[in-house]
Amino acid sequence: MYENIFSSLIDALLLVSRDHRIFLSNPAAWELFRLSRGSLDGLPIADLLLEPAEVERRIESTLASGESYRDLECLVHAGAEGRTFPAGLTISPLQGEGGDCLGAIVMVKDLSLLKELEEGSRQKSNLSAAEGLALRMAHEIRNPLGGIRGSAQLLSQELENPAHREYLDVVIAEVDRINRMVAQMMQLTRPTGPAFEETNIHKVLADIILLEKDNLARHKNRVEQIYDPSLPPIDADADQLKQVFLNLIKNAVEASGKKGRIQIITRVNSGYGIKLLPQATPRQGVVVEIIDSGAGMDEAALKNLFTPFYTTKKKGSGLGLAISLKIVENHGGKIKVTSEKGLGTTVQVLLPLRQR
Ligand SMILES: Nc1ncnc2c1ncn2[C@@H]1O[C@H](COP(=O)(O)OP(=O)(O)O)[C@@H](O)[C@H]1O
Ligand SMILES: [Mg+2]
């Protein structure tokens, strides 16, 4: 019966003699350490541990005083491939018939999955509770939207009266708007890292200005491009940067009203030193400035600028700047905004030249 229990346990058990050598192990231990019973037999337990000192001290104390220890965290290596994983150890005395201490029972739990989950939840805890809720809702909202859109489309095909069809077009357009917003919201919380490649910032800006051509013309906004011809290519994800500058330029247009002036300035910044590591040398970077002579913002608005869902626009999402900041930070860069109510706004995007 005892033997059955011993070999049926799913946690690894090592029986250690007074000289800290393993003399018995269960199948869960062979599995966990990727070692056969034969190679575990006689092995000093220290050989399985990355930093054995603390565990050895506890075993010694167990042998001397009969004390137990629970959930000692340590790093363990297993198998010939040298896999290392975090483990939780419980050490208890192994008592003989006469009550004397024959050795120690060491139970080993693999904590790698638990640690991974912890890491995951720590990353997520960057999200506020409200954002987490918003993300869950976003998922829930998308499914019924598909159904609504599909039904509206079918119904629209059936209708004879074009006026009635127009109503359904409104339904479809509004559904699409919610869908876009929800997609943006999910992007904010999705942890996709940038795919870095050599990127020409002027090309990125040219693409966006082309994209926004109609919008700019409609507002009669004048765009001045003041570009540094010596601007080197940088390591960046061009698609993600397009999203950043598209939003910044849209914001500038939306703040400007009719006949506004928008300046887009690029330059190299050699003194741009964001220190990621204490010993890091100041990194060279590029600066892209987007200056508008629009409505500007007061102190309170400036404070809320990067808060998700903060918007002062009727059809705004309040996600543009939050997403932009996240993208720029993923590039190791920064966004600085200065603004004066009634005078205009300057947005500076600083991006490092190289990612390493
Ligand atoms: N260039 C700007 N001038 C004035 N206000 C701005 C400017 N850019 C952003 N803002 C303010 O910040 C808010 C948030 O911007 P953003 O995150 O892009 O969301 P959205 O554009 O959908 O409102 C805007 O609603 C606006 O009040
Ligand atoms: Mg915006």
The residue with tokens 């914001």 is 251
How far, in Å, is the centroid of ligand 1 from the Cα of 354?
29
How far, in Å, is the centroid of ligand 2 from the Cα of 125?
25
Per this entry, what is the length of the chain? 356
CB 264 within 8 A of CB 246: no
Nearest ligand atom owner, CA of 315: 1
Cα 89 from Cα 107, distance rounded (Å)? 6
Nearest ligand atom owner, CA of 188: 1
Q: How many CB atoms lie within 10 A of CB 134?
A: 18
Q: How many CA atoms lie within 13 A of 188 on its CB side?
A: 28
Residue type, 185: M
> Which candidate, 76, 106, 110, places its Cα nearest to that of 15?
106
How far, in Å, is the centroid of ligand 1 from the Cα of 297?
9
Cα 249 from Cα 241, distance rounded (Å)? 12
| Ligand 1 atom nearest to 311, measured from its CA | 25
Which residues contact residue 122 at a Cβ distance below 8 angstroms, ignoring those fewer than 6 apart? none
If you take atom 12 of ligand 1, which residue's CA is the nearest one? 305
Crossing angle (nearest 10°) for helices 129-158 and 162-189: 160
> Which candidate, 349, 350, 341, places its Cα nearest to that of 255?
341
- For a pocket test of ligand 1, which of 261, 311, 315, 341 has the largest count of ligand atoms closer than 8 A to its C-beta? 311
If you take atom 19 of ligand 1, which residue's CA is the nearest one? 318
Nearest ligand atom owner, CA of 255: 1
Nearest ligand atom owner, CA of 321: 1
* Binding pocket residue ranges, ligand 1, CB within 6 Å: 247, 251-252, 255, 292, 294-297, 301, 305, 310-313, 316-322, 345
- For a pocket test of ligand 1, which of 251, 253, 254, 345 has the largest count of ligand atoms closer than 8 A to its C-beta? 251
Residue type, 33: F
CA angle 273, 276, 280 (to 5 degrees): 65
CB 204 within 8 A of CB 239: no
Nearest ligand atom owner, CA of 252: 1
Map residue 293 onto helix, strand or coil: coil
How far, in Å, is the centroid of ligand 1 from the Cα of 6?
65
Tokens of 141: 């909202």
Q: What is the CATH number of domain 2-118?
A: 3.30.450.20
Predicted TM-score of the model (pTM):
0.57
Q: How many CA atoms lie within 13 A of 62 on its CB side?
A: 26
| Helix ranges restricted to H, 9-128 | 27-33, 37-40, 53-65, 112-124
> Which candidate, 312, 288, 314, 302, places its Cα nearest to that of 340?
302
User: Domain 197-352 is classified in which CATH homologous superfamily?
Assistant: Histidine kinase-like ATPase, C-terminal domain (3.30.565.10)
How far, in Å, is the centroid of ligand 1 from the Cα of 43?
66
10-residue mean pLDDT profile of the chain (356 residues): values are 85 93 93 88 92 92 91 81 82 89 92 65 51 71 85 90 90 89 73 84 94 88 93 93 93 90 89 42 79 94 88 86 88 91 94 85
Cα 225 from Cα 262, distance rounded (Å)? 9
Cα 157 from Cα 160, distance rounded (Å)? 8
How far, in Å, is the centroid of ligand 1 from the Cα of 344?
12
| Burial profile 288-307: b = 16 or more Cβ within 10 angstroms, e = fewer | bbbbbbbbbbeeebbeebbe
| Helix ranges restricted to H, the chain | 2-8, 27-33, 37-40, 53-65, 112-124, 129-158, 162-189, 201-211, 213-218, 238-256, 299-304, 320-330
Tokens of 25: 């192990």
If you take atom 10 of ligand 1, which residue's CA is the nearest one? 251
Domain ranges of the chain: 2-118, 126-189, 197-352
How far, in Å, is the centroid of ligand 2 from the Cα of 143?
26
How far, in Å, is the centroid of ligand 2 from the Cα of 284?
28
If you take atom 13 of ligand 1, which residue's CA is the nearest one? 311
324 secondary structure, DSSP code: H
Map residue 118 onto helix, strand or coil: helix
Maximal C-alpha separation, the chain: 97
